[in-house]
Amino acid sequence: MQALDPTPRPIDHIPGGGKRGAPALIGRAEVLDYAALEDRVGRLAAWLRAQGVGAGDRVASWLPKTIDACLLPLAAPRAGAIHVPVNPLLKRAQVAHILADSGATLLVTGAGRAETLAPGDRPAGCALAIDSEIVLPGEGLPPSGADPAALAAILYTSGSTGRPKGVMLSHANLWLGAVSVAHYLRLTVDDRVLCVLPLSFDYGQNQLLSTWRAGGCAIPLDYLTAKDVVRAVGRHDVTTLAGVPPLWVQLAEADWPAEVAAKLTRLTNSGGALGVPLVRALRTKFPAAALYAMYGLTEAFRSTFLDPALIDAQPESIGTAIPFAEVLIVRPDGTVAGAGEPGELVHAGPLVAQGYWRDAARTAERFRPAPAASRHGGTAVWSGDTAVQGADGLIRFVGRYDEMIKVSGNRISPNEIEEAAVASGATAEAVAVGVADDRLGQAVLLVARGDGSGEDVLRAYLKWELPAFMQPRDVVWRAELPRNANGKIDRAGLKREMDA
């Protein structure tokens, strides 16, 4: 297990902890050990300087998981710049918004993606660099002496509820996040982490940083199907895999040779609740793997994790605070809720981001003084999420405030309906949304994956498990549920569609 050192450092200092000559990064056509990784980061930082990138400039990258895409989170801060990773799945209008909003002075991308940009999408003053044309200098920059409180990255949220917001992360945010995750996941120099999540996603980027903090090997993968992930686990002897619930559904349904499934010793989930049926399916499919259920949001990085030893007995829990995070369940008056009492989940401590880029109004809404009971004090993230902490100290997520459904005065968490729908066995994925109803105020509409043949089974199960006010008025069946750029189900998009 990695030592839990609370000292913040510049994020570009991470490379260097692996076994001598052992791989640190395995790309499609290139493998870097830790010495080569450190050298490449320094030369990539020097190349950025040669492009005119100065202190505080924003460097955007719109790339698949290439070697340079993996190293820019370190190279840009080493050059004194601020990295702005752009999800490669985004289209030109979304990319144009991020470039303009961030004030990027350089966009690093591929020729094909660059050709999709319309005139004006790349703002005046934003230079273009095609990744295949990059020629690195022979001499690199040494590790920086940056102030750990200085801004190192701006990560844009998926934007499913409006224009993407740029979350400002310091060197300390990124460094301590890597230290924390490497520690509680018990990552070691022998671990091989398959990085399937987008590197523009805080959870995806941390796959790299926490792996390198532990001295392990990161293996980035742009996959098309679950079969691609299965093959990569077998080919690279992968020990660790991180995912979000929609991906875990696909992987649980995939055909895994027993000898390949046995290679995985660690599975981690964030970005939404797994639900009891999926927990059971993953525990059956990967019996040798410790399953870590986690909760977080970009504004506070990661907040809680459940000890894998408790997952079988407490499959609905999100656990307790991760190292360096302080998590409080708070009443509307700002006092701490009692055991079993629902309240707002508030995040404090050094993992809390610095706010939203150039958006003081929205920053003031979400980033506010910590509750009086906070040990850390300072600025906290008031998530708007509802949770409850049991007498055993474990936290259970209830729902997001803006997703709650109100039927005849009853506030309903969509998670309860969705978990019951999946537990029925009639569907593997479902989303519950509230739609306008003249009589009830709102009614429940359930969108489920499938052909509709299991609707009778679904409705019978829901009537058995849930009270009358939680029963869906309508069930809409879809062959597939829409995803956003981070691979999560696009709940907000579905609601807009159902409201139309």
pLDDT top residue among 284 and 409: 284
pLDDT at 160 (0 to 100): 39
Q: Give, to the nearest 10 degrees, the angle between helix 414-423 and helix 276-285.
A: 50
**Per-residue pLDDT for 406 more than 80?**
no
The values of phi and psi at residue 364, to 5°, are: -65, -30
- Residue range 23-63, pLDDT digits in tens: 999 999 999 999 999 999 999 999 999 999 999 999 999 99
350-397 pLDDT, tens per residue? 999 999 999 999 999 999 999 999 999 999 999 999 999 999 999 998
Tell me the per-residue pLDDT of 246-256, one tens digit each, with 9 for 90 and over: 899 899 999 99
- State yes or no: pLDDT of 162 exceeds 70: no
With b meaning 16 or more CB within 10 Å and e meaning fewer, what string describes 369-379?
Answer: ebbeebeeeeb
Integer Cα distance of 495 and 307 in angstroms: 34
> Among 8-22, 84-98, 131-145, 224-238, whose mean pLDDT is lowest?
8-22
- pLDDT over 90, % of the chain: 79
Q: Bridge-partner residues for 356, per DSSP?
A: 167
Q: What proportion of the chain, given as a percentage, has pLDDT over 70? A: 98
- CATH classification for the domain delimited by 11-310, as one of 3.20.20.80, 3.40.50.12780, 3.30.450.150, 3.30.420.40: 3.40.50.12780
Residues 6+ apart with CB under 8 A from 50: 137
**How does the average pLDDT of the chain come out, rounded?**
93
What's the pLDDT at 2? 67
Angle subtended at Cα 78 by Cα 73 and Cα 80, rounded to the nearest 5 degrees = 105
Kind of pairing, strands 266-269 and 290-295? parallel
Contact (CB, 8 A) for 359 and 370:
no
State the pairing for strand pair 395-400/367-369.
unpaired
Instruction: Pick the more confident residue, 194 or 301.
Output: 194
Q: What are phi and psi of 105, to 5 degrees?
A: -100, -10
Q: What mean pLDDT do residues 168-182 have?
A: 97
Provide mean pLDDT across the span 274-303. 93
Phi and psi at 441, nearest 5°, equal 90, -60
How many CB atoms are closer than 10 A to CB 314? 18
- What confidence score (pLDDT) does residue 46 get? 98
Written in H, E and C, the secondary structure of the chain is CCCCCCCCCCHHHCCCCCCCCCEEEECCCCEEEHHHHHHHHHHHHHHHHHCCCCCCCEEEEECCCCHHHHHHHHHHHHCCCEEEECCCCCCHHHHHHHHHHHCCCEEEECHHHHHHCCCCCCCCCCEEEEHHHCCCCCCCCCCCCCCCCCEEEEEECCCCCCCCCEEEEEHHHHHHHHHHHHHHCCCCCCCEEEECCCCCCHHHHHHHHHHHHHCCEEEECCCCCHHHHHHHHHHHCCCEEEECHHHHHHHHHCCCCHHHHCCCCEEEECCCCCCHHHHHHHHHHCCCCEEEEEECCHHHCCCEECCHHHCCCCCCEEEEECCCCEEEEECCCCCECCCCCCEEEEEECCCCCCCECCCHHHHHHHEEECCCCCCCCCEEEEEEEEEEECCCCCEEEEEEHHHCEEECCEEECHHHHHHHHHHCCCCCCEEEEEEEECCCEEEEEEEEECCCCCHHHHHHHHHHHCCHHHCCCEEEEECCCCECCCCCECHHHHHHHHHC
Q: In which residue ranges of the chain is CATH 3.30.300.30 found?
A: 404-499
Angle formed by the axes of helices 226-236 and 245-253, nearest 10°: 80
pLDDT at residue 192 in the model: 98
CA distances (Å), 55 to each of 42, 58, 85, 373, in order? 16, 9, 18, 38
pLDDT of residue 161 exceeding 50, the answer is no
**More confidently predicted of 397 and 136:** 136
Q: Does domain 404-499 have CATH number 3.40.50.300?
A: no
- pLDDT greater than 70 at residue 16: no
Q: Stretch 169-191: mean pLDDT, rounded? A: 97
Contact of 224 with 232, CB cutoff 8 Å? no
From-to residues of CATH 3.40.50.12780 in the chain: 11-310
User: Residue 77 phi/psi, 5° resolution?
Assistant: -60, -30
What pLDDT does residue 245 have? 87
| pLDDT at 481 > cutoff 70 | yes
Q: What is the mean pLDDT of residues 187-202?
A: 95
Cα(53)–Cα(259) distance, integer angstroms: 48
